[in-house]
A = this chain, B = another copy of it.
Amino acid sequence: MEIAIDSSNTQKFTKASDSTTADLASKSIIDLLGNTQIQKAEIDGLIVSSSTNDSYLGNIVSEMVGIRPKFSTRVENLCNSGTSGVMLAYSLIKSGLCKAVLVTGVEKQNSQGNKLTWDRSRGVYDMPIHWAALYAQNHFRSYGTTEEDLAIISLKNHANANKNINAYFYDKQFTYSSIVNSKMVVEPLKKFDCCYPCEGSSSLLVLSEELAKRTEIPIWIKGISQNNQGASFASISKNLGSIISTRIAARDAFQQSNLRPQNIDIVEIHDAFSILELLAYEDIGFVEKGQGRKFMQESTLYTNVRGGLLGCGHPIGATGIDQTNEIVLQLQGKGGLRQKKGCKSGLVHNMAAAGTSTTVIVLQK
C-alpha cells in the first residue's frame, strides 16, 4: 500500500504570543480541515510533535478541533520532532491501524530545546552554535570553504523567505553585506548564519492509498527513514566532516524509494546554521564530500525555497512539518509566489541536536 500526504497548513511564525500551544496547533488543524476532501469523521489519528512541556496535547487538540481519533499522542524528539511524527503517521497507516493521520508540529518561543543540558560533554559550550562552529571550522580547513560562502547560503534562504508570508523574516530585507558583516557569535559563525527560535504551528494529513485517491493531488511518500547516533556531541565528534545520521537516513530513504539524489528536483534542508546546508548537500549525496561549496555555486537544485530555518525561523516541533509541507505544495504546484517549475520529486531533511539524528523523506507526485 502506498501512503500519501494530501493537505497541509502552516500558521505564520512569530515571536511569543498569548496563544497556548493547544491554540496554535488547533488553529492550524482547523484551517487544514477546511481545505481537504477528507471528512473530519474519517480522521483516525493525531500526532502532535512538540518540545513544550504541555501534557496530553494529542487529546487536548483532538477535543479542541472536534475529532475522536483511534490513535493520538504527543511526540518529543527535539528539532527532529516534526518528521518523527510523520514517520509514525506513515507506520500507523502502513500497518493498517489507521487510515488518515493528522500530524501537527507546534512550538512556543520559550519551549525548552535550545540547549541539551543532559550533554555534559559539552562543558560550558552548551549552545548549538558551539558544535555548528566546529563543523564550520573543519569544513573551512578541509575544503577551503569561507565565511563568504556561508553568507551566500544565508542570503539565498533569507531572500526565499521574502516570498513566504508565513516566514518569520518574510518582510525583512537582507543584503549580502548585512549578513557577512553581522555580529560574530562563535567564530566563524555570525548572527545571520544562525536560525531564530520562534513560535508557530504547521500541520499535514497523511493518508492511506485508498483515501489519497479521493484527493486532488496526493503526494506520495516514496521513502522515509531516520537514523540516530546518540545524543551527545561527543558521540559524533570523531568525524566532523560528515553528519553521519544524515548519510545513513538519506541512503535508506533513497533505497526505499528507488530514487537517487540526481532524481530530486527540490529539497528542504535543515539549515539551523548556514554551514549545515553545505554539509547536507554532501551528506544527502547530491555531491561528493568536500564539493558542497562548488555545488552551491553551480547546482540547479531548488534548495530551501520556503526560506529554510534561516529565513523562516525555527519553531522546534513545527519545523519538520513545515519543511514537508513546502515540498508537498511545490509538487502539487501550489507554491504560489515561490512555485518552482517542473518539480516531480522532492526531499525533506530534518535533524536534531548536533546532527545526532536525522529524518529524510522522499516525496513524489
Residues of A within 8 A of B (CB): 22, 46, 51, 53-60, 62-63, 68-78, 81, 84, 87-88, 90-97, 112-113, 116, 118, 224-232, 235, 252, 352-353, 356-357
| Nearest CB of B to A70, in Å | 6
In the bound complex, do residue B68 and residue A72 qualify as a contact, i.e. CB atoms below 8 Å apart? no
| Nearest CB of B to A58, in Å | 6
List the B side residues contacting A72 at CB < 8 Å: 77, 226, 228, 357
By beta carbon, the residue of chain B nearest A357 is B59
Chain B CB count within 10 A is highest, among A55, A232, A235, for: A55
| Nearest CB of B to A282, in Å | 21
In the bound complex, do residue A91 and residue B84 qualify as a contact, i.e. CB atoms below 8 Å apart? no
List the B side residues contacting A60 at CB < 8 Å: 118, 231
**Shortest Cβ-Cβ A-B pairs, 8 listed:** A63-B230, A94-B95, A59-B231, A91-B95, A91-B91, A60-B231, A73-B77, A74-B76
| Nearest CB of B to A55, in Å | 6
Given A88-B73, A97-B224, the answer on whether A112 and B232 have CB atoms closer than 8 Å is no
Taken together, the copies of this chain in the complex come to 2
> Which of B97, B227, B228 meets A91, CB within 8 Å?
B97
List the B side residues contacting A78 at CB < 8 Å: 55-56, 59
In the bound complex, do residue B56 and residue A228 qualify as a contact, i.e. CB atoms below 8 Å apart? no
By beta carbon, the residue of chain B nearest A3 is B95
| Nearest CB of B to A285, in Å | 18
List the B side residues contacting A51 at CB < 8 Å: 55
Given A51-B55, A56-B78, A59-B352, the answer on whether A68 and B229 have CB atoms closer than 8 Å is yes
List the B side residues contacting A232 at CB < 8 Å: 63
CA distance A56 to B93 in the complex (A): 25
In the bound complex, do residue B73 and residue A231 qualify as a contact, i.e. CB atoms below 8 Å apart? no
> Which of B68, B77, B227 meets A56, CB within 8 Å?
B77
In the bound complex, do residue A71 and residue B228 qualify as a contact, i.e. CB atoms below 8 Å apart? yes
